[in-house]
Each structure stands twice: as structure tokens, then as C-alpha cells.
Amino acid sequence: MTTFSLLYRTQFNVNTCYNQGGYHEEFHEFLEQKRLVEKRKLPYYLNWVRKFMSFSDASLESEIPDEEVTQFLEYLGRKYEGWQVHQAEEAIRLYRYYKINNSEPGRGNSTACASQWNMASMEMKNMLRLRQRSINTEKTYLYWLRYFYHFLGEKPPGELNGWDLRNFLSHLRTSSFW
């Protein structure tokens, strides 16, 4: 089978599944609107998300655990080339960001959470002063810490994981902040 016929077959399968499933329409619009993926690559990104969802048996509403993403990428690594695994990882990362961006913000007791973030802010301030950073650097770091806090919807610092940071960086990339 030639590369062209394989790509055409994959393109056909992606479009067929996309049109039948219909649950990726909003994600597809999100990717197009933000111009995060080249138009010609959109079907492939949607296909990776569809494959991940069928691999993990995750519901559309549930949070995607890191372990399932890792298992899926390891599975792909045995079947596909490195660039395809990287593309799948990027597609899942964007999908996770999309899901979090469109979910309800805020969790738990906001006053307890705010006090935890205040303690983190004070600790950061003390560390910056210990390292003799300038006052402007201190203000900038504290600004970004507050921005990160508001982005997370008041999630306590003890519950943070790597995906929170990745989603924040994706938010900065996709927002009109810059």
C-alpha cells in the first residue's frame, strides 16, 4: 500500500467517524477558530482524540487521567512512528485544555484555597528576596502567580499537577492576551 493511499484511507475514515460521531464538532470549531492546527491536519488531530477516547473508554464529561494518556502514547509508540505519537500527544493536550476551558471553574472551599495561595505567594516573595531578585522581578512573578491562580478557578496548590501548567500555557498561547 502506498503512502498516498494510506493517507487517503485514513482521511476517509477520520471524516466518516467524525461525521457519524458528531461529539467533536465543538472541539473542531475551537481548533479552527483559534488556528491551533493547520486546516489540513485537523482531521488527523480529531482522529487521535477519537482513538484515545475509544482506547480509554473515558466519558466525554470525565477528567482524563494522566496514566491513561501515558498508556495510550506507549501503545501508539509500538504501532506508529515518533512524529505520529507526538501529533497524538499534542491533540490530546489540546483536547484536555478545551475540556477544562469549557468546564465549570472553582472547587471546594474558596477561603481555605485563598489562604493556601496567599501562603504560596508569601513563600515565593521570601525566596525571591533570599535570592536577591529585584523588586520588579518580584512583582512580575507575583502577578503571574495570581494570574495562574485565577486561571485554575481557585484550585488549591496541593492539588496541582503537570497538566494544570500545560493547560495554563495553552491558555496563554490561545488567548488574545499577547
Measured CA to CA in angstroms, residue 178 lies from 35, 140, 144, 166 at distances of 15, 16, 14, 18
pLDDT > 90? residue 83: yes
- What three-state secondary structure class fits 155? coil
Integer Cα distance of 26 and 113 in angstroms: 32
- Tell me the pLDDT of the chain averaged across its residues: 77
How far, in Å, are 27, 119, 126, 141 from residue 122 at the CA level? Answer: 39, 5, 6, 12
Q: What are the tens digits of pLDDT across the range 26-38?
A: 888 888 877 778 8
Q: What is the pLDDT of residues 142-176, one digit of tens each?
A: 888 888 888 887 688 888 888 888 888 888 887 76
Q: Parse the chain into domains and list their residue ranges.
A: 3-101, 110-174
pTM of the model: 0.54
Mean pLDDT of 108-130: 81
Class of domain 3-101: mainly alpha
Determine the pLDDT at residue 75.
93
* pLDDT at 104 > cutoff 70: no
